[in-house]
């Protein structure tokens, strides 16, 4: 069940004073995730699952730094992207123009926004009491997992089915 909170936009323009929703998430730590997997009708125990996931992280990092893209079945394809500064000519562009490395995730079918939406169920995290003009929080506050996506008040899940992470 995906929980959401209503919030009132305090941005200028057409979104000002409009109401939107954002996902309210709870972080599941690694050990809790391992236990969840082990208890999910899995033939492997916690130590095996933990070991495989740790080795996967080590190998994935190694392969990404070698310039490989890694597909994890329906989860998606992980690959490296670069943030660069411009050069006037190709000859002037060097490794010094590379400013940051990004981890890009191109989502697989089961994790694309449309497929997740189709299977999702929603529940309001806190009830709006109907009193006055205030039905929740304002856009300036932050719940873990919220994202205004540069002014798109739909809660940040990009419809291009990709994600970027700074490394």
- What pLDDT digit, counting tens, does each position of 77-115 carry? 999 999 999 999 999 999 999 999 999 999 998 999 999
What H or E segment, with its residue span, contains residue 35? helix 30-38
Query: Can you give the pLDDT at residue 126?
Result: 78
Q: Are 23 and 123 in contact (CB under 8 A)?
A: no
Query: Can you give the pLDDT at residue 164?
Result: 61
Could you give the angle at which helices 30-38 and 46-65 cross, rounded to 10 degrees?
Answer: 120
CA distance 83 to 86: 10
Specify the pairing of strand 122-124 against strand 2-8: parallel
Query: What is the CA angle 7-111-43, rounded to 5?
Result: 120
CA distance 74 to 123: 26
H helix and E strand count, the chain: 3, 8
pLDDT in tens, 114-124: 999 999 999 99
pTM, rounded to two decimals = 0.68
Span of 6-10, 28-32, 145-149 with lowest mean pLDDT: 145-149
Domains of the chain: 2-166 (4.10.520.10)
What H or E segment, with its residue span, contains residue 24? strand 19-24
């Amino acid at each position: 069940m995906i929980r959401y909170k209503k919030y009132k936009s305090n941005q200028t323009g057409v979104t000002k004073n409009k109401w939107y929703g954002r996902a309210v998430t709870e972080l599941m730590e690694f050990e809790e995730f391992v236990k969840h997997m082990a208890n999910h009708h899995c033939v492997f125990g916690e130590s095996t699952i933990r070991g495989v996931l740790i080795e996967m992280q080590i190998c994935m990092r190694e392969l990404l730094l070698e310039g490989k893209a890694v597909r994890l079945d329906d989860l998606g394809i992980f690959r490296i992207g670069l943030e660069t500064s411009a050069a006037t000519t190709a000859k002037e562009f060097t490794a010094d123009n590379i400013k940051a490395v990004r981890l890009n995730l191109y989502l697989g079918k089961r994790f694309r926004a449309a497929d997740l939406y189709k299977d999702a169920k929603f529940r309001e995290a806190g009830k709006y009491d109907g009193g006055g003009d205030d039905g929740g929080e304002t856009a300036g506050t932050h719940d873990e997992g919220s994202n205004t996506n540069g002014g798109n008040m739909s809660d940040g899940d990009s419809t291009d089915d990709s994600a970027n992470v700074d490394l």
